[in-house]
Structure 1
Amino acid sequence: MKKLILLAFVSFFMSTSWVAAQDVRYNFDNKADFTAFKTYKWVEIKGADHANQLVDKQIKDALDAELATKGLQKTDSDSADLYIAYQTAIGSEKQFTSFNTGWGYGPGWGGGWYGGGMNSGMTTGSTSTIYVGQLVVDMYEPAKKDLVWRGTASKTLDPKAKPEKQQNNLTKAVKKLLKNYPPKPK
């Protein structure tokens, strides 16, 4: 009976506790002088996927707040030190979770020291869809029209999540994404 209760607890825990960690990556031009960048302007990437107006505002607000903590000031002037753009991608993955109730005989049990015997366990599983929303942020040096910094945060945007959860995921992802910005000079 104790084994059955333990099994029920473990299976419940495994099926409800999976949380997707956000994956953050970035790259930068190691010859760029990031200390010279004081202002930025939002620009659009033609042909890029963008979120709806509400999510667009949330993305820009989260990035504006985090960039301000990094010493960058937003401007509408074309003479900004950086042009910043973003794009999004929303897709889905399938996740399969399984567990085995193999409390019966198996290797090492019955039939002598080397096992054998019968396994009366049962394997069950479930499939779920996980939405993977990716946010890509690009920073360009306008004078040379060169990409100087790019960051990607996966598992950030989920169109099926409640608004509060969307905002929390986005804020957390942007903080992680810009954690090492500006890059340390060599």
Structure 2
Amino acid sequence: MNRTFRIYPTILGIALLICSAAIAQDVKYNFMPGTNFAKYHTYKWISIEGGAHPNQIMDAEIRQAVDAQLATKGLTKSSDNKADLNVGYQIAVDQEKQWNAYGMGGVRWGGGGMATATQSTINIGSLVLDMYDPDTKQLVWTGTATKTIDPSNNQEKNQKNLDKSMEKLLKHYPPK
């Protein structure tokens, strides 16, 4: 009995699903219980001492993405010391190995087609966004977005990825 099964479209679909799940951004947040977030109307940027920061271009891209999202939440950026909220961030970029596999030919019982796998290195970047109450000097909100920072050469792709991840990260700000 010699049956040829054409399962490559199914395998390809499953592989694409796995790959898209693997590169999906992961966001987490936490906040200080009992905080009245309704009192925050303005914010200013601060540097987190000892935190890792990118080059000036990526710094501007990150701030632009966060500024856009905070504006949708009704917060106004301030440059003076009278802001209701201090906002800072830090980043980390690690590398992981990724395997890309593909096959050719049909799959048969008792036999098989040809398959090849290649290895590549991908950058996995995390961004931690912190918000502090300047009066109490306490952390009131923190969020982490992983698979957000990619130091690639494609600036449009980087900005789109940052915008998407900051929208996802700040979706639940202010907490209910």
TM-score w.r.t. the length of structure 1 is: 0.79
Q: Structure 2: how far apart are the matches of 1:12 and 1:66? A: 34
Q: Read off the aligned partner of 1:170 and give its amino acid letter.
A: L
Q: 2:152 aligned with 1:160, yes or no?
A: yes
Q: 2:96 aligned with 1:93, yes or no?
A: yes
SS in 2 for 1:179: helix
Query: 1:130 Cα deviation (Å)?
Result: 1.9
1:82-131 C-alpha deviation (Å, 9 max, x unpaired): 110000111111123456889343xxxxxxxxxxxxx3336643322221
1:20-73 C-alpha deviation (Å, 9 max, x unpaired): 111111111121110011111100011110011011011111111110110111
Q: Structure 2: how far apart are the matches of 1:140 and 1:3? A: 63
What is the match of residue 86 of structure 2? 83
If each structure's strand is expressed as a fraction of its own residues, which one has the higher value? 2
> CA, structure 1 residues 3+94, in 2 after alignment: closer, same or farther (shift >3 Å)?
farther
Q: Structure 2: how far apart are the matches of 1:3 and 1:92? A: 40
Q: 2:49 aligned with 1:43, yes or no?
A: no
What is the match of residue 136 of structure 2? 144
What is the match of residue 32 of structure 2? 29
What is the match of residue 165 of structure 2? 173
Does the aligned pair in 1 maintain the 2:42–2:85 contact within 8 Å? Answer: yes
Q: Read off the aligned partner of 2:51 and give its amino acid letter.
A: A
TM-score w.r.t. the length of structure 2 is: 0.84
**Greater mean alpha carbon deviation, residues 150-159 or residues 93-102:** 93-102
Q: Structure 1: how far apart are the matches of 2:94 and 2:106? A: 36
- Unpaired stretches in structure 2, ≥5 consecutive residues: none
Specify the structure having the higher radius of gyration (Cα).
1
- The count of aligned residue pairs is 170
- Unpaired stretches in structure 1, ≥5 consecutive residues: 106-118
> CA, structure 1 residues 54+29, in 2 after alignment: closer, same or farther (shift >3 Å)?
same
> Of residues 68, 71, 76 in structure 2, which corresponds to 1:73?
76
Q: Structure 2: how far apart are the matches of 1:153 and 1:11? A: 28
Q: Structure 1: how far apart are the matches of 2:153 and 2:124? A: 12
Query: 1:18 Cα deviation (Å)?
Result: 2.8
SS in 1 for 2:107: coil
Does the aligned pair in 2 maintain the 1:104–1:120 contact within 8 Å? Answer: yes
> CA, structure 1 residues 104+59, in 2 after alignment: closer, same or farther (shift >3 Å)?
same
SS in 2 for 1:90: strand
Q: 2:57 aligned with 1:54, yes or no?
A: yes
Q: Structure 2: how far apart are the matches of 1:3 and 1:142? A: 69
